[in-house]
Structure 1
Amino acid sequence: MTTENTGVRKTAGDDTAAAGKPPSVRPRALAWQRRRASAARFWRTYRTHRAGVFGLAVLALFALPALAAPLLTGSDAADVTDAPGAPLESPSAEFPFGTDRFGRNLLALVIRGARVSLLVGLLAAVLSVAIGTLIGVTAGHFRGWYATVMMRITDWFLVMPTLVLAIALATVMSRSLLTVVVAIGVTTWPTTARLVRAQTLAVETRPYIERARALGGGHWHVMTRHVLPNVMPLVLAQTTLIISSAILAEATLAFLGLGDPTVVSWGGLLQDAREAGAVSAGHWGYLVPPGIAIAVVALAFTLCGRTVESVLNPRLGVSR
């Protein structure tokens, strides 16, 4: 009897090992393993798109000098009291982009301005997408009068000029980077809200949502465990697309004199060039570098966003 029982136990152990499902694997570890595999698949598909890889390389080309700006330009690059050159010098070996109206090195200012422009663009895009996702998911889940009210508010924001609303907010609030972030974030969320609501309505019709509700899942459980993970790919693609718009909006507000005057940004450099009469004086080194930087970075984020959209939704058929 002992020998037979031992043999049975060995056979059961062999069957368990052959099944390839060790009992020690935890659900959380399995979830992280699946996420890593999904991220690897995403990157393998992403790098086959030449436009997306080009956009990523351009962003790295701007982001790395921006992160290392204090080391590359020094801590006093923006100081107007101890400028290294004469005002409005032409480009030279010492000053590749020339100098501004205070005699500061324009190349150093463009590098430092990248930190502010990229930071404001990222924060404003995150705020915009967070508001849009919250309204879109809740409006798609609860429906009824709540969805009607939220969608009418969204429609109102959609028909109003975004730049006009941002200028109005930036005018009545104090002039700071936080004001610019809030002004851009609270005026650019309606598109995300409508897209997320449409995706939420599609997800809510799937059978596993009905099973979750039948098993006692509440509103919070359904929205956070089932709906939100399914709309996150759309949210990620929308974030990368909104960043470019946010950078352009920040540059516009700074150019109009509504930004923080104590920090250096690309839009602020364009405003300084306008006030210094760089166009009439023919000092193009004052205007061209920050303007090209804004256009190139906005284009790079757009390329990355379109590629992310194509990878997450292959039916779009974006060219490689």
Structure 2
Amino acid sequence: MTAGTGEPVTDRGAGPKAPSARTLARRRRRASAARFWREYRTHRAGLVGLAALALFALAALTAPLTVGSDVSSVTGAPGQPLETPSGEFWLGTDRFGRDLLGLVVWGSRVSLLVGLLAAALSVAIGTLVGITAGHFKGAYATVVMRITDWFLVMPTLVLAIALATVMSRSLATVVLAIGVTSWPTTARLVRAQTLAVEARPYIERARALGGGHRHIMVRHVLPNVMPLVLAQTTLMISSSILAEATLAFLGLGDPTVVSWGGLLQDAREAGSVSSGNWSYLVPPGLAIAGVALAFTLCGRAVESVLNPRLGVAR
């Protein structure tokens, strides 16, 4: 207090207030993201894949504006069945007289959505199983990893077909069938990384300071396995899109929606192979191959950035 005034004494020589822990965390995240992007840009194949994915995503998001939401309607189709490519219909028409180009663009919405959701479900299950099996060990880990081994030796597509057959035909069924049958690879990878992380000294210090199982798994293990999970997710999306196309081609998808696999099934039923109508078969097939390749290129680039020892070609 100053004499006679009663005002508090302030330290005019004090410097600026130190940033909070939350501010420092945001700065570190921004710096990490910028460093990741600088490394990612050095991978030419990854940039090509990212550009292709941007085009596919743009086509899917703008489909209601570019081709219209009624493009999949069978009633009132604008053309005649199985027309050849022309100025009016660039890819021709399907067996109902619908514009094939519009159907391919509209089908990207379903194929990408199912691929993303199925991959997210698969990676989530695999991450949960991998972290818990690597952390708890003992009898729990033995039982869980034996179940994982059983899923690994069983053909994923056969299991997905079995699930899709006994359940109702819908997009949710396809997502569930793919997600619950393709997680074992992620679980194996995450468990191995979890074991490596928990062997580090700071995990022992966390336990000594009273850190419980949840604290160690969420605050220490999960952040260290997230780079692996991110790379695995980008690779799983391409596999999920291919699996969705296969199920739809076999007639196990949702018959009320348009997808690339469903278009291939329609082309097969219309006899496009025997009649040589390749404009019906090739576009959805190329779309499936293109988006799967794009996600694979991005996944390999991400994997190389997060783990430079892999030495992936740039």
Same topology, TM > 0.5 = yes
Length-normalised TM-score, structure 1: 0.94
Partner residue of 1:141? Answer: 135
Percent identical among aligned pairs is 80
Partner residue of 2:120? Answer: 126
For 1:92, what is the secondary structure of its paired residue? coil
Tell me how large the CA RMSD over aligned residues is: 1.5
Q: Does 1:310 align with 2:309?
A: no
For 1:93, what is the secondary structure of its paired residue? coil
Q: How do residues 224-235 of structure 1 correspond to structure 2 at under 5 angstroms?
A: 224-235=218-229
Give every structure 1 segment of 4 or more consecutive aligned residues whose post-TM-superposition deviation is greater than 4 Å: 8-11
CA distance in 2, matches of 1:123, 1:69: 20
Partner residue of 2:248? Answer: 254
CA distance in 2, matches of 1:269, 1:105: 12
Among candidates 91, 98, 103, match of residue 97 of structure 1: 91
CA distance in 2, matches of 1:49, 1:314: 12
Among candidates 13, 20, 31, match of residue 25 of structure 2: 31
For 2:135, what is the secondary structure of its paired residue? helix
What is the aligned length?
308
Q: Following TM superposition, by how much is the alpha carbon of 1:163 offset from its aligned partner in structure 2, in angstroms?
A: 0.4
CA distance in 2, matches of 1:69, 1:113: 9
CA distance in 2, matches of 1:74, 1:251: 23
Q: How do residues 171-250 of structure 1 correspond to structure 2 at under 5 angstroms?
A: 171-250=165-244
Deviations 1:159-215 (A, max 9, x none): 000000000000000000000000000000000000000000000011111111111
Q: Which is richer in helix?
A: 1
Partner residue of 1:73? Answer: 67
Q: Does 1:294 align with 2:288?
A: yes
Q: Following TM superposition, by how much is the alpha carbon of 1:10 offset from its aligned partner in structure 2, in angstroms?
A: 5.7
The residue type paired with residue 46 of structure 2 is G
Partner residue of 1:279? Answer: 273
CA distance in 2, matches of 1:276, 1:9: 85
CA distance in 1, matches of 2:30, 2:151: 38
Length-normalised TM-score, structure 2: 0.96
Partner residue of 2:56? Answer: 62
CA distance in 2, matches of 1:26, 1:277: 67
CA distance in 2, matches of 1:276, 1:74: 24
Q: Which runs of 5+ in 1 are unaligned?
A: 3-7
CA distance in 2, matches of 1:111, 1:176: 20
CA distance in 1, matches of 2:128, 2:194: 11
